[in-house]
Chain A
Amino acid sequence: MATDRIVGIDLGTTNSLVAFMQGESPVVIPGDDGLNLVPSVVALDEKNQPVIGNAARKYLTETPERAVYSIKRLMGRGIDDIQEELKFFPFRLAEDLQPGEVLRIKLGEKTFTPPEISALILRQLKRNAERFFGAPVTKAVITVPAYFNDAQRQATKDAGRIAGLEVLRLVNEPTAASLAYGLDKKQNGIIAVYDLGGGTFDVSILKLHDGIFEVIATNGDTHLGGDDIDNLLITIALDDTLGDLGLDLRHNDLRRNAEAVQAIRKAVIEAKIALSSQPSVKLDVELPGGKRYLREITREQFEQLIQPIIDRTVSPCKQALKDAGLKPEQIDEVVLVGGSTRIPKVRALVKELFHREPHIDLNPDEVVALGAAVQANILGGGSEATENMLLLDVTPLSLGIEVAGGVTDKIILRNSTIPASATQHYTTQIDGQANVAIHVLQGERELAKDCRSLARFDLKGIPAMAAGMARIEVKFLIDANGILHVSAREQRSGKESEIQVQPSYGLTDEQVEGMILDSFDSAEEDFRQRQLIEARNETATILAALDKGKKNPAWGHLTTDEKKKIAKMEKALAAVNGEDDYQAIRKAIDALNQGTTRLAELMMDSAVTSALKGKTMEEADMGEGPTAPHPMAKAEFE
């Protein structure tokens, strides 16, 4: 049963989470640092080993050339698509990158494709889940922005495979959020989900009907989110800094000084978050050379600054309403998702758009992962809580074929329920023609050049016939993941036509195969190894904590008998730690943890003792770590 456990993963621009269905409700699985959110940051340490999440954040400021964040912005994109991104993000592209090739990012001296970097984040989440269950995890549901196109979805699926996960379903983030909300509110009606995350914006309108979650319309912008607010503030800060210091403004080294920029980025993110609850904040950033950058920002100024950014969510909302054939008054409930919806000005905008107060009952950072866990449960056969629940999602963008004159002929319209299909017939233009070229597009624009090119493929080996005689049937099918499949058949001869695809951006199957981090076959063995290593690390932690404890005055308050018992357990743990028996080490750790509970309690200040009752030695020692739900929120900025 444990091996069949399917987890739900929110692979976010800023933070990622893994969740699963515990009994009748979804819960987020914390990392080994005790935190639910794993920052989507990947770095290489001094030994070129990947470091992920909170542990990787320090590299952003210390060795920025060895770290990367917001990689989601590059998923499924080509070099031509990301010129805007490169102005604001310190992505270091490989120098030998060819146009049309999958992007490669430099970390130190190594290069990685965006799916590989995402895979490192996914593998971390997989490990967190495995530690939690004490068993391997190989299956997952991963969420994607609803407005992700085919290439972006495929890249996400590839990332899952590279991480050693079988991706059972890609679920749209706003839809996943609605599942999490729908779980405790079994009701019918129309809901709108407004999802403004770190890097993407989605709006979805759903009809809830006896457990069926039917998406009626969706819209969005895959490059709009909290990142854009940060970048605006960074730009202002850099301008300010140079001005304040009286230095040459535009071409100063500072802009290229990644370390200073990252310090400023950290400061403005903290300021942004603080401004959701405070009327004003003071920026105070230490700059290289011992100088400081000081500036006060009031909430009023902040709101003025971000207005143009948050206004970009208005037109997708209006379009979604129009596509759904609904007026704002017909929406029964509005749900907010994504960290950026904590900004009061964003909430005010949503209220104005939908004429009602939005819902914020669930943590906007966690709700998508919780919904993914619900979907994972449905795919796994369901339970009492998810009985009768079914998601009917749509394709966010129209699928088209380029026809004469460079015009897009739409064959599957946006907001069509998926799976959806369309059949097209092709014929030959000249006698004996053996190939037909087909260009598949995604997007709403009239001209092919304005749409996203998904793939070009050639139908080959058409039997020799007079012009116009061949009748080739091509079937386009968008599956429940929103990913396109194409198949073809020549009808008159019954002969198969070979299809050759040139994906516009993306990895080939062989490439993905070569990147797989943990092969499925060795998953079990890898897991045991890792479990052992982690258990030994834990041993080291608890023994160090115990050493510290012995020097604490609290040690003196223990009875001789208690001290003896602890010493015995300590010895037992040290003895099994060298062996390859995970269960034995685990048991010894748990025993020592249990045995030192009273010591841990005594060590706490009497004022907090009651709150920490039942804490183990290990936890008591870790109690100093950050505990705020948002990794950035804890830092005070003065």
Chain B
Amino acid sequence: MTSLTEITGKPAPEETQSCWSCGTMRAVHFCEACGKVQPPAPVDYFTFFALPRKLNFDVAALEKDFYELSRKLHPDLNARANSQEQEWTLQQSSLLNDAYRTLKDPIKRTQYLLQLEGVELEEQSKTATERARSTGEIKKQIVPPDLLEEVFELNMQLEELRMHKKMGEDDPALIEEIGRQKLELEEKQEALLHELKDRWNMWDGMIQREQNGQPVSEEERKQERDKMVDLLNRRNYIRNLVRDVSEVLESS
């Protein structure tokens, strides 16, 4: 059967200042003094890696930290510890893996930061859908207007290709044309990533100003967030489109 651990009703582990084993100051994950794995503290991924909530950082250094922490936290290296410590190890190493997987990917990292900032990405698009439905407007976040014509054209061609396939016909010219458009879309996707990285710089600059004691208005924060949300939505749209096109091309 699927293993099931009931950890129901237990309060979240308290954040303590000292190591449970040797009593010295504890780190988030393991004790610097005695090396013992600590009970997981409810921290976000940036804090877990001792990173500020900025979007630009050295991914190679993150990988190095990930490997080093793995050598401390992985269950394989704590297999002889008692069952309580093994439980903490399991929690800590899954947190480590989840954090690394999220932060190393530029898109996931941006989404995660926006979530920490209180943006509910899925919610946002749901609200946008409902608003669009009630006002009869075109849902801007979902179909980027500058792509509207192109997307319409592409969908027609994809439909045509599917029809040809059904009839068992071959249309190399059409396949070539769709392939060319796919390349263009991929270039756009790449360009959007660059644009997003420009926004990172703006965001990080803002956070830096804040750390230096200069006030940042909620209005400015919101603006920066909204720009990133918009870029993410556009990119997601194109990514899904590229995926659909690839599927059709691969099956023909």
Q: Which residues of A contact B (CB under 8 A)?
A: 150-151, 154, 168-169, 209-210, 212, 375, 378-381, 388, 390-392, 416-422, 440, 454-455, 457, 475, 477-480, 483-489, 494-499, 501, 503, 506-509
Contact = CB atoms under 8 A, between A and B. Distances in A.
B4 A499 contact: yes
A88 to B, nearest CB: 29
Nearest to A150: B2
Nearest to B5: A485
B3 A485 contact: yes
Given A477-B90, A497-B8, A419 B2 contact: no
A430 to B, nearest CB: 21
Contacts of A375: 76
Contacts of B7: 475, 487, 489
A484 B3 contact: yes
Contact of A421 (B3, B6, B95): B95
Contacts of B93: 419, 480
B30 interface: no
A486 B4 contact: yes
Given A379-B76, A483-B3, A488 B8 contact: yes
Given A380-B80, A381-B80, A390-B71, A485 B97 contact: no
18 contacts: A154-B3, A378-B76, A390-B70, A390-B77, A391-B76, A417-B97, A418-B94, A419-B97, A421-B95, A477-B94, A479-B3, A480-B93, A483-B3, A489-B7, A496-B9, A498-B8, A499-B4, A501-B1
Contacts of B95: 421
Interface string B92-117: 01110110110000000000000000
B74 interface: yes
A527 B130 CA distance: 70
B64 to A, nearest CB: 10
B39 interface: no
A548 to B, nearest CB: 50
B20 interface: no
B8 A489 contact: yes
Contact of A212 (B3, B67, B80, B100): B67
A557 to B, nearest CB: 56
A420 B108 CA distance: 16
B79 interface: yes
Most-contacted residue by chain A among B9, B91, B95 (CB, 10 A): B9
Contacts of A484: 2-3
Contacts of A378: 76-77
A390 B91 CA distance: 18
A421 B97 CA distance: 9
Nearest to A151: B2
Nearest to A457: B4
Given A419-B94, A496-B6, 7 more contacts: A169-B79, A417-B100, A421-B95, A477-B90, A477-B94, A494-B11, A501-B2
Interface in B42-77: 67, 70-71, 74-77
A379 B3 contact: no
A491 to B, nearest CB: 10
Contacts of A494: 9, 11
Contact of A503 (B1, B9, B74): B1
A480 B98 contact: no
Given A169-B76, A379-B76, A390-B74, A420 B94 contact: yes
B1 A416 contact: no
Contacts of B75: 419, 479-480
Interface residues of B, number: 29
B81 to A, nearest CB: 11
Contacts of A419: 75, 90, 93-94, 97
Contacts, number: 112
Nearest to A478: B94
B4 A480 contact: no
A388 B74 CA distance: 12
A150 B3 CA distance: 10
A533 to B, nearest CB: 33
Nearest to B80: A381
B2 A454 contact: yes
Given A419-B94, A419-B97, A487 B79 contact: no
Nearest to A497: B8
A418 B97 CA distance: 7
B94 to A, nearest CB: 4
A501 B4 contact: yes
A483 B11 CA distance: 25
Nearest to A413: B101
Contacts of B8: 487-489, 496-499
A495 B9 contact: yes
A151 B71 CA distance: 29
A327 to B, nearest CB: 16
Contacts of B100: 417
A497 B10 CA distance: 11
Nearest to B79: A379
Contacts of B98: 420-422
Contacts of A455: 1-2
A480 B77 CA distance: 12
Given A379-B79, A391-B76, A419-B97, A487 B5 contact: yes
The 9 closest A-B pairs by CB, nearest first: A496-B8, A496-B9, A503-B1, A419-B94, A506-B1, A379-B79, A421-B94, A455-B2, A487-B7
B74 A506 contact: no
A171 to B, nearest CB: 10
Contact of B97 (A416, A440, A508): A416
A552 to B, nearest CB: 53
Contact of B2 (A420, A421, A506): A506
A486 B5 contact: yes
Nearest to B8: A496
A317 to B, nearest CB: 16
A552 B4 CA distance: 65
Contacts of B77: 378, 390
Nearest to A207: B63
A496 B9 CA distance: 4
B4 to A, nearest CB: 5
Interface in B118-158: none
Nearest to A508: B1
Nearest to B92: A419
A154 B70 contact: no
A417 B101 contact: yes
A440 B4 CA distance: 12
A479 B90 CA distance: 7
A125 to B, nearest CB: 21
A60 to B, nearest CB: 32
A484 B90 CA distance: 12
Nearest to B71: A390
Contacts of B67: 209-210, 212
A61 to B, nearest CB: 37
A499 B5 CA distance: 9
Nearest to B11: A494
